[in-house]
Amino acid sequence: MSGKPDGDLLQDPYASSGVPNAPLDTSALGPAFGSGWSSPRASPEAPVPDFLFPENFDEKYRRPWGERLTYYIGVGYLGGLVTGGVTGAADGLRSSAGERRRIRINSVLNATGKRGPAWGNGAGCIAMMFSMFETAAYTFRETDDLLNTVAAGALTGGIFKSTAGPKAALGCAAGLSAAFTALTVVQEQLNKRR
C-alpha cells in the first residue's frame, strides 16, 4: 500500500468537477437517473405528473386519450369478468343443489364461463364508449369538469340500451351517468389525499 489516503485511490476520473468524489450531476438525464423532467410551462412549485414522453405533458394533468381508453377498457373488462364470474358461480351452485360433486363442479364451471366473459365484454364496450364520449366532450368544450362525465355517461347508457326501448334507454342513461359521476368524484377525492 502506498501512503496515499483512501480518498485519492477512489477518485472518479470522469467527474466533471475538480473536487474528488463529487457526485455526478444527473439533472439532465431524466427520471430514470433520479431526477425529473422539467417543463417550461409548469411553475416550479406545482407538482409535475408522471408521463413517459415530454410531448405528452399536459398542464391539466390529463392523460392522453389512448392511455385513458386503454385504462378504462381494461378496468371495465376485468370488473365485468370478475363480477360475472362470481354471479355465474353462485347461479351454478344454486341450480345444482343436491346433485353429485362432479355435476355441481361442471354446473359451476359452465355458468362461470358463460356469464363472466359476457359481462366482461359488455363492461368493456361501455367503458370504450364512455372514454370516447368523454374525450370528445373535453375536446369540444376545452374544459375538464363533471359535466363531461355526466354527458358521456348519459350518452353511453342511452346508446347501450337503445335497442331495448326508450324507457330502458333512459333508465340506463340516468344510471350510468350517476355511476360514472360518482366514480369520478371518488377518484378525485382519493387523488387529493395523495
* pLDDT at residue 122 in the model: 93
pLDDT, mean over the chain: 80
- Judge whether residue 2 has pLDDT over 70: no
The per-residue pLDDT for range 60-115, each reduced to its tens digit, is: 566 778 888 899 999 999 999 999 999 999 999 999 888 898 999 999 999 999 99
For the record, the C-alpha cell of 136 comes out as 370528445
* pLDDT at residue 28 in the model: 55
* pLDDT at residue 142 in the model: 83
Q: pTM here?
A: 0.65
Residues 167-174 have a mean pLDDT of: 94
Q: Are 88 and 151 in contact (CB under 8 A)?
A: no
- Judge whether residue 4 has pLDDT over 60: no
* pLDDT at residue 77 in the model: 96
The per-residue pLDDT for range 19-53, each reduced to its tens digit, is: 555 565 655 555 555 555 555 555 556 555 565 66
* pLDDT at residue 110 in the model: 93
**H helix runs in 28-165, sequence order:** 65-95, 101-141, 146-160
Phi-psi region of 82 (alpha: psi -120 to 50; beta: other; left: phi over 0): alpha
Q: Are 178 and 164 in contact (CB under 8 A)?
A: no
* pLDDT at residue 120 in the model: 95
* pLDDT at residue 129 in the model: 94
- Report the alpha-carbon distance of residue 172 to residue 158 in Å, rounded: 6
Output 6 or 116, whichever has higher pLDDT.
Answer: 116
Output 156 or 192, whichever has higher pLDDT.
Answer: 156
Residues with Cβ within 8 Å of residue 105, at least 6 apart in sequence: none
* pLDDT at residue 188 in the model: 83
- Report the alpha-carbon distance of residue 139 to residue 148 in Å, rounded: 10
